[in-house]
A and B are shown apart, each in its own frame.
Chain A
Amino acid sequence: MTERVAATPGLYPLPDWAKETLSDLKGHQKGDLLSGDESEAIVEQYDEVRAEFVDDQLDAGLDRVVEGQGRWDDMIAHPLTVHDGVETGGIVRYYDNNNFYRDPRVVADLDFSGDVARELESAADLIDGEAPLAATLPGPYSLADLASDEHYGDEAAFQAAIAEFLAGEVEAFPAHETLFLLEPSLVTNPPAEGAESTATDAIATVADATDADVVVQTSYGALGEKLYAHLVDEAGADALGLDLVAGDRDDTVYNVQEFGSTDSLALGLVDGQNTLVEEPETVAERVEWFESQIPAEGFDRTYLTPNTELFYLPANKYRAKLNALAAAAEVLD
């Protein structure tokens, strides 16, 4: 019997009040974005944001609760842009979206930071055992792809260094049930032919740093079939996360039919980039449809997730999407 788990990888939109208070406190320019040593007044605002995110998820009834990453001004590049060994360059486009982040230029060794672990400690205190905690990090392949290397010298060494850095961060995390590694670049800018194992080794380095279930979440369409096969076998993931909203979902079904899958799967079912809120029944049907396409006996676990981060949405729609996911898991039970 497959367990259905409603969860999200986080990166939520700030509540509208926080958009105002934080832009007043921090400013609008490049130099005003978070550097990891924010003032007490700013810390307090983010504490309130975090508490609201946790409440949103508990109210919706999600099976995993994330910190929500309200502080991540630079989206998934955040763990680098607040790092001491990184200088931030110009504003660059975040994937194919009308969103921008600061180019993290890695200029020194990526030693231990602890920034994300501190956020998770705070989240765990707020959740207080009411639901299992899920942690979120960029996957090493995507983080290397989004960053500029001015220190390590070659692509493989850079990916490996970022993986070691992320693994060190994970080791400092409080107890967590699930770790989401966000890897949109695997679809948008896949490793070159023959370099797949460098990417999967890097992911495995991070995955091996935790006893939690690891979900390697991809976005913006289907994975290439060869890369997909490498990921299933080598990435150390308990679940691959597959985008069933963007791109051609038949390609994704084909991958799973042809190359098998991880023991669990995460399905990107709810559109993180559209305000149209899916009916829980529709989401549930998509799960059943997908599972019916697959010859296997069933998965250990199917995660019901959005296909992307949710910061793209206005705050009211983000909350509606959380509710839709949790309600869909109930429909299936």
Chain B
Amino acid sequence: MVRNPDANREQFRPNDHPNDAFLLTTVVGSYPKPKWLNRADELVDDPDSKFDAADLEEAHDDACRLITHEHERAGLDTVVDGEMRRNEMVEFFADRIDGYEFNGPVKVWGHNYFDKPSVVEEVEYDEPWLVDEFDFTSNVAERPVKVPITGPYTLGFWAFNEAYPSTEELVYDLADLVNEEVEKLVEAGARYIQIDEPALATTPEDHAIVGEALERIVSGIDEEVRIGLHVCYGDYSRIYPEINDYPIDEFDVELCNGDFEQIPTFTDPEFEPDLALGVVDAHTAEIESVEEIKENVRQGLRVVPPEKLTISPDCGLKLLPREIAYGKMENMVTAVREVEAEIDSGEIDVDNPLDD
């Protein structure tokens, strides 16, 4: 059953918000790294360089501060640090969870590789994964900070399972660990958590496993904490309406890439969680115009009313040139504020949002 998004959404409305209508603006998470950070990542592995782990830590801090502020400058209501400390969405967590080992890179396509880990014994929680980075980011941010976490289904199925009789059982154990991490993040002050499950798009028939994993993740998590789920690049009709039963506040989708052809999927039966709609493409290097993005935002109003609509890019922006990523966020926020004003004035009819 859907959580209670009404109970946690208003806390993200900025004090100086200019409109009555409030479409929450956010991002999915990853952001292009500053070029100097990539050089720093290489330098620390260079035995001839004096640059050491402490220097790298400082470089990561600098990058997180820079990108968090860049998100604020774009006008987002909730911000992230652009995942500057993370290398890859599975590797980063597998490195922090006992039970995983790394054997070397495997092919994804062409010469793109991924250090796919193996689960060689029962997974266990050791040190917190993200609490330090949350503390840092929330200290430098003036806006609320969202925390993206790779979900247990993806952490399980994008690894080699050597230890568990079934990968489903591994996923549930991982979900318990994610729950532990979310509890610690909440204790540290986090109020907006996003679970990323891209693996579900490749095996939509496993939606019940993801549902059970989510039940474990949110167990004991207060309703003032907003829990989002991000699933990208798939045929959503294969997991809808099942996702209406997920214990989440918000479902984040990538639809701009497919020109919103899948919007009707979500209109029947009624969409229950809040909808977080991708309105700029994460894989085209052209900045969409404000006008174009406003049309995209209206697509979301076909599914949910304004008070249940969150706006974000389709997916993480890390593969784009940084100035393009910034331009997309900035235009996105401008478009959203204009749409809000048009809702307030009645220019947009929320019952027929595509009408002019």
Given the contacts A96-B203, A275-B160, A276-B160, A27 and B108 also touching, CB distance less than 8 Å: no
Asked if A16 lies at the interface with its beta carbon under 8 angstroms from chain B, I say: yes
A314 CB contacts on chain B under 8 angstroms: 103-106, 116
Cα separation A13 to B115 with both chains bound (whole Å): 13
Q: Are B110 and A16 in contact (CB under 8 A)?
A: no
A315 CB contacts on chain B under 8 angstroms: 104
Nearest chain A CB to B151 CB, angstrom units:
15
Cα separation A19 to B108 with both chains bound (whole Å): 12
Q: Are B162 and A316 in contact (CB under 8 A)?
A: no
Q: Which of A14, A101, A276, A312 contacts B162 (CB 8 A)?
A: A276
Cα separation A119 to B109 with both chains bound (whole Å): 21
Cα separation A317 to B108 with both chains bound (whole Å): 17
Cα separation A100 to B106 with both chains bound (whole Å): 13
Cα separation A314 to B109 with both chains bound (whole Å): 14
Q: Are B109 and A99 in contact (CB under 8 A)?
A: yes
Q: Are A23 and B109 in contact (CB under 8 A)?
A: no
Q: Are A30 and B110 in contact (CB under 8 A)?
A: yes
Asked if A118 lies at the interface with its beta carbon under 8 angstroms from chain B, I say: no
Cα separation A312 to B103 with both chains bound (whole Å): 12
Given the contacts A96-B203, A315-B104, A19 and B113 also touching, CB distance less than 8 Å: yes
CB nearest to B101 among chain A residues: A275
Q: Are B105 and A100 in contact (CB under 8 A)?
A: no
Task: Map CB proximity to A onto B90-130 as digits: 1 under 8 Å, 0 otherwise.
Answer: 00000000000001111111111110101000000000000
Nearest chain B CB to A249 CB, angstrom units:
16
Q: Are B104 and A274 in contact (CB under 8 A)?
A: no
Cα separation A13 to B107 with both chains bound (whole Å): 8
Asked if B12 lies at the interface with its beta carbon under 8 angstroms from chain A, I say: no
Q: Are B103 and A275 in contact (CB under 8 A)?
A: yes
Cα separation A98 to B109 with both chains bound (whole Å): 9
Q: Are B112 and A28 in contact (CB under 8 A)?
A: yes
CB nearest to B107 among chain A residues: A311
Nearest chain B CB to A21 CB, angstrom units:
10
Q: Are A28 and B105 in contact (CB under 8 A)?
A: no
Q: Are B104 and A99 in contact (CB under 8 A)?
A: no
Given the contacts A96-B202, A274-B161, A26 and B108 also touching, CB distance less than 8 Å: no
Asked if B134 lies at the interface with its beta carbon under 8 angstroms from chain A, I say: no
Cα separation A33 to B112 with both chains bound (whole Å): 11
Asked if B271 lies at the interface with its beta carbon under 8 angstroms from chain A, I say: no
Q: Are B111 and A316 in contact (CB under 8 A)?
A: no
CB nearest to A317 among chain B residues: B103
Nearest chain B CB to A19 CB, angstrom units:
6
Cα separation A16 to B106 with both chains bound (whole Å): 9
Nearest chain A CB to B127 CB, angstrom units:
25
Nearest chain A CB to B191 CB, angstrom units:
32
User: Looking at chain A, what size class is its interface with the partner chain?
Assistant: 20 to 34
A96 CB contacts on chain B under 8 angstroms: 202-203
Task: Map CB proximity to A onto B148-174 as digits: 1 under 8 Å, 0 otherwise.
Answer: 000000000010111000000000000
Cα separation A256 to B159 with both chains bound (whole Å): 33
B199 CB contacts on chain A under 8 angstroms: 98
CB nearest to A276 among chain B residues: B162
Q: Are A27 and B104 in contact (CB under 8 A)?
A: no
Q: Which of B104, B111, B114, B161 contacts A23 (CB 8 A)?
A: B111
What's the dominant secondary structure at chain A's contact region? Answer: loop
Q: Are B104 and A28 in contact (CB under 8 A)?
A: no
In chain B between 246 and 282, which residues have their CB closer than 8 angstroms to a CB of chain A? Answer: none
Asked if A73 lies at the interface with its beta carbon under 8 angstroms from chain B, I say: yes
Asked if A93 lies at the interface with its beta carbon under 8 angstroms from chain B, I say: yes
Cα separation A222 to B105 with both chains bound (whole Å): 30
Nearest chain B CB to A37 CB, angstrom units:
17
Cα separation A100 to B160 with both chains bound (whole Å): 18
Cα separation A19 to B199 with both chains bound (whole Å): 25
Given the contacts A16-B105, A275-B103, A317-B103, A26 and B202 also touching, CB distance less than 8 Å: no
CB nearest to B113 among chain A residues: A19
Given the contacts A96-B203, A98-B158, A275-B160, A22 and B104 also touching, CB distance less than 8 Å: no
Q: Which of A32, A273, A274, A316 contacts B110 (CB 8 A)?
A: A32
Nearest chain B CB to A12 CB, angstrom units:
11
CB nearest to B117 among chain A residues: A275
Nearest chain A CB to B169 CB, angstrom units:
15
Q: Are A275 and B162 in contact (CB under 8 A)?
A: yes
Q: Are B109 and A27 in contact (CB under 8 A)?
A: no
In chain A between 1 and 37, which residues have their CB closer than 8 angstroms to a CB of chain B? Answer: 13-14, 16, 19, 22-23, 26-30, 32-33
CB nearest to A97 among chain B residues: B202
Task: Map CB proximity to B onto A58-96 as digits: 1 under 8 Å, 0 otherwise.
Answer: 000000000000000100000000000000000101001
Given the contacts A98-B202, A314-B103, A73 and B110 also touching, CB distance less than 8 Å: yes
Nearest chain B CB to A257 CB, angstrom units:
27
Most buried by B among A30, A98, A312: A98
Asked if A175 lies at the interface with its beta carbon under 8 angstroms from chain B, I say: no
Asked if A313 lies at the interface with its beta carbon under 8 angstroms from chain B, I say: yes
A26 CB contacts on chain B under 8 angstroms: 110-111
Q: Are B116 and A101 in contact (CB under 8 A)?
A: no
Q: Are A93 and B202 in contact (CB under 8 A)?
A: yes
Cα separation A91 to B203 with both chains bound (whole Å): 18
Nearest chain B CB to A86 CB, angstrom units:
17
Task: Map CB proximity to A onto B283-309 as digits: 1 under 8 Å, 0 otherwise.
Answer: 000000000000000000000000000
A23 CB contacts on chain B under 8 angstroms: 111, 113
Query: What are 30 A-B contacts with C-beta separation under 8 Å?
Result: A13-B106, A16-B105, A22-B111, A26-B110, A26-B111, A27-B111, A28-B110, A28-B111, A28-B112, A30-B110, A32-B110, A32-B111, A73-B109, A91-B109, A93-B202, A96-B202, A96-B203, A98-B108, A98-B158, A99-B107, A274-B160, A274-B161, A274-B162, A275-B162, A276-B118, A311-B106, A311-B107, A312-B106, A312-B107, A316-B104
Identify 19 new A-B residue pairs, CB closer than 8 A, beyond the known A28-B112, A98-B202: A13-B107, A19-B105, A26-B110, A30-B110, A33-B110, A73-B111, A96-B202, A99-B109, A100-B108, A101-B109, A274-B162, A275-B118, A276-B160, A311-B106, A312-B106, A313-B106, A314-B103, A314-B105, A315-B104
Interface residues of A (CB under 8 A from B): 13-14, 16, 19, 22-23, 26-30, 32-33, 73, 91, 93, 96, 98-101, 273-276, 311-317
